[in-house]
Chain A
């Protein structure tokens, strides 16, 4: 990834552009987990959308295996790069059952590999996968997205990623809408994907302590720019920018109390 910036055009009477992501340079190796940290409006989601080919960068390029991502056929690209988002409810087609949504993923995988789809076989694949991930297929498959909880849907999205086996997974605040006690289950599944399929993960979060928990490398974004980028241990022991230091001191901890009142 090199030198990208994206300008959002805003304004009604006077038109001007707001750069959302400026001069970002990042590399992600195979099997690596990179956490992208930043507050609201720092450009982390825009960056993810550019990598997912949902927004075109206005300058610079994003390379996958040394090739520009726009040079891949779109279906092939989405078998290599997948995303999961903050709100799992909007990530599913509401009129399709979970089974249909997962079967779509299976057919995407098969099409890309130029294979014929065998319905019975792919149903078996889906069922055994859900069992392996600790979900009960008979409970879930016939249901519609609104009948399931956010945590369950988020895990089904990850199950979808297990089917597709992408090389890169963009997880945009996957745990921000689910509760603390369910959060661990979602994260554990993500680690499992990383371990078993060697999927590289870009984990986007505004929570620095979560970033330290999941990541090998961390990039901190502020107002569209990357202000800190490096190995997690190095950032923890020796933060270079003021913003990082301020972030580190603002995280509430169970072991300390700020206000002696």
Chain B
């Protein structure tokens, strides 16, 4: 279903493209100067699709999601350049206020990392929903309307596999996993086109993680959301849910393809190392019987990766050659919908 190059005619996206991001760069102002955390990222999200972004800490996953949702309106994050379009709304053409009113929460909902730890403790879950409706100028004028809205919400909460009694509970009465599932359910209750989830399962244990993932799957399957973009550092948990994976490193997209391709035949040396490091734990092997395939180069983190010339990965790459140190490789398509940014696959 992937379209290789999206052609925008008269400011209107092709019908099945919900989110369109092109050459997006952004970052933060620090004491040491400007720090670019997201570097020329292009990404599309199609109708009925969940896309995963995988990358290690500091690779820019969170900043990317924040950039898309805030379009640079919230300091200290700065949007340097690039296009963002959500359901034919071009972010560059409307003001921050309009973006907040028309797009945020309706077409595009962002659930930050550890959102479950950030909800106001003295309010019942139900009143978060009320606040959200107020933000979207829904009038709750009488008791009857309120009851009606609450009943509708209860029905919805039940349909995604949660207990309706949570609506009258306080956040501290729920476990972390329950809170996370509730937040995701409430975030998608207005039927947004795009749901952005930042590490929805990090810091949860495996049993809870599975429950959160199945809530997301349920919401998607029942059509409450049209698409989702989800970041994680854990490929194995993304694999359970997402259709396509983008691999991010130092603010750049290194590789993207459908989930099976990324996992079964990763092409970028970084992706190979990443998948390899996970395969060690697959099938409950013991280290005594396990021999790694890829030789690990000393994994010292290179801090000046941001000012590096050439490919950002070359100090850690076992295949690095002179050209990698000099020039950044272009992104090439090597299979159907499989794109890699690496000199190994550039025909010269």
Return chain B residues, CB-CB under 8 Å to A191.
287
B299 vs chain A, min Cβ distance (A): 5
Return chain A residues, CB-CB under 8 Å to B50.
261
Most A-side CB within 10 Å, residue of B273, B282, B300: B300
Number of residue pairs spanning A and B whose beta carbons lie under 8 angstroms apart? 125
**Given A213-B287, A252-B237, A259-B241, A185 contacting B207 (CB threshold 8 A):** no
B173 vs chain A, min Cβ distance (A): 16
B285 pairs with A254, CB closer than 8 A: no
In the bound assembly, the distance between CA atoms of A154 and B208 in angstroms comes to 28
Which candidate, A24-32, A161-169, A243-251, is the interface stretch facing chain B?
A: A243-251
**Given A185-B299, A254-B263, A259-B240, A179 contacting B206 (CB threshold 8 A):** no
A218 vs chain B, min Cβ distance (A): 10
Return chain A residues, CB-CB under 8 Å to B285.
212-213
In the bound assembly, the distance between CA atoms of A191 and B263 in angstroms comes to 27
B290 to A, closest residue via Cβ: A213
Hey, what's the 0/1 contact readout for B144-159 against A, CB within 8 Å counting as 1? 0000000000000000
In the bound assembly, the distance between CA atoms of A152 and B236 in angstroms comes to 25
Hey, what's the 0/1 contact readout for A132-146 against B, CB within 8 Å counting as 1? 001110010000000
Return chain A residues, CB-CB under 8 Å to B220.
261
B217 pairs with A180, CB closer than 8 A: no
B301 pairs with A208, CB closer than 8 A: no
B283 vs chain A, min Cβ distance (A): 8
| A128 on interface, CB distance cutoff 8 Å | no
| B274 on interface, CB distance cutoff 8 Å | yes
A182 vs chain B, min Cβ distance (A): 5
Most A-side CB within 10 Å, residue of B213, B278, B299: B299
| B239 on interface, CB distance cutoff 8 Å | yes
B207 to A, closest residue via Cβ: A250
Neighbour of A180 across the interface among B233, B283, B298, CB < 8 A: B233
How many residues of chain B have a CB within 8 Å of chain A? 48
B299 pairs with A253, CB closer than 8 A: no
**Given A210-B281, A253-B282, A258-B210, A179 contacting B233 (CB threshold 8 A):** yes
**Given A181-B273, A252-B240, A254-B236, A212 contacting B209 (CB threshold 8 A):** no
A254 pairs with B301, CB closer than 8 A: no
Q: Considering the complex, which residues of chain B in the window 204-247 have a beta carbon less than 8 Å from any beta carbon of chain A? A: 205-210, 213-214, 217, 220-221, 233-237, 239-241
| A80 on interface, CB distance cutoff 8 Å | no
Return chain B residues, CB-CB under 8 Å to A257.
239-240, 259
| B35 on interface, CB distance cutoff 8 Å | no
| B277 on interface, CB distance cutoff 8 Å | yes
A191 to B, closest residue via Cβ: B287
Q: Considering the complex, which residues of chain A in the window 86-140 have a beta carbon less than 8 Å from any beta carbon of chain B? A: 134-136, 139
B205 pairs with A254, CB closer than 8 A: no
B292 to A, closest residue via Cβ: A184
Return chain A residues, CB-CB under 8 Å to B234.
180, 252
**Interface size classification for chain A:** 35 or more
In the bound assembly, the distance between CA atoms of A7 and B233 in angstroms comes to 36
Neighbour of A207 across the interface among B206, B239, B259, CB < 8 A: B206
In the bound assembly, the distance between CA atoms of A122 and B37 in angstroms comes to 41
A213 pairs with B281, CB closer than 8 A: yes
B287 to A, closest residue via Cβ: A213
Return chain A residues, CB-CB under 8 Å to B132.
none
In the bound assembly, the distance between CA atoms of A259 and B217 in angstroms comes to 7
B201 vs chain A, min Cβ distance (A): 9
Most A-side CB within 10 Å, residue of B50, B206, B221, B236: B206
Return chain A residues, CB-CB under 8 Å to B239.
252-254, 257
B316 to A, closest residue via Cβ: A181
Return chain A residues, CB-CB under 8 Å to B135.
none
Return chain B residues, CB-CB under 8 Å to A185.
296, 299
| B334 on interface, CB distance cutoff 8 Å | no
Hey, what's the 0/1 contact readout for B258-302 against A, CB within 8 Å counting as 1? 010001000000100111011111111111001010001011110
| B56 on interface, CB distance cutoff 8 Å | yes
B282 pairs with A254, CB closer than 8 A: yes
Return chain B residues, CB-CB under 8 Å to A258.
210, 213-214, 217, 240-241
B282 pairs with A209, CB closer than 8 A: yes
A246 to B, closest residue via Cβ: B207
Return chain B residues, CB-CB under 8 Å to A139.
300
| B23 on interface, CB distance cutoff 8 Å | no
Return chain B residues, CB-CB under 8 Å to A39.
205-208
In the bound assembly, the distance between CA atoms of A213 and B287 in angstroms comes to 5
**Given A39-B207, A149-B301, A151-B299, A261 contacting B221 (CB threshold 8 A):** yes
| B127 on interface, CB distance cutoff 8 Å | no
Neighbour of B281 across the interface among A181, A182, A209, A246, CB < 8 A: A209
Hey, what's the 0/1 contact readout for A215-249 against B, CB within 8 Å counting as 1? 10000000000000000100010000000001100
Task: Write 22 A-B pairs (CB below 8 A) sorted by A numbering.
Answer: A39-B207, A152-B300, A180-B233, A180-B235, A181-B56, A181-B270, A185-B296, A187-B287, A206-B205, A206-B206, A213-B281, A213-B285, A213-B286, A214-B286, A214-B287, A250-B206, A252-B209, A252-B210, A252-B239, A253-B283, A254-B263, A261-B220
B positions within 8 Å CB-CB of A: 50, 56-57, 176, 205-210, 213-214, 217, 220-221, 233-237, 239-241, 259, 263, 270, 273-275, 277-287, 290, 292, 296, 298-301, 303
A positions within 8 Å CB-CB of B: 39-40, 134-136, 139, 149-152, 179-185, 187, 191, 206-210, 212-215, 232, 236, 246-247, 250-259, 261
| 9 closest A-B pairs by CB | A179-B56, A39-B205, A259-B217, A149-B301, A212-B284, A252-B236, A209-B281, A250-B206, A252-B237
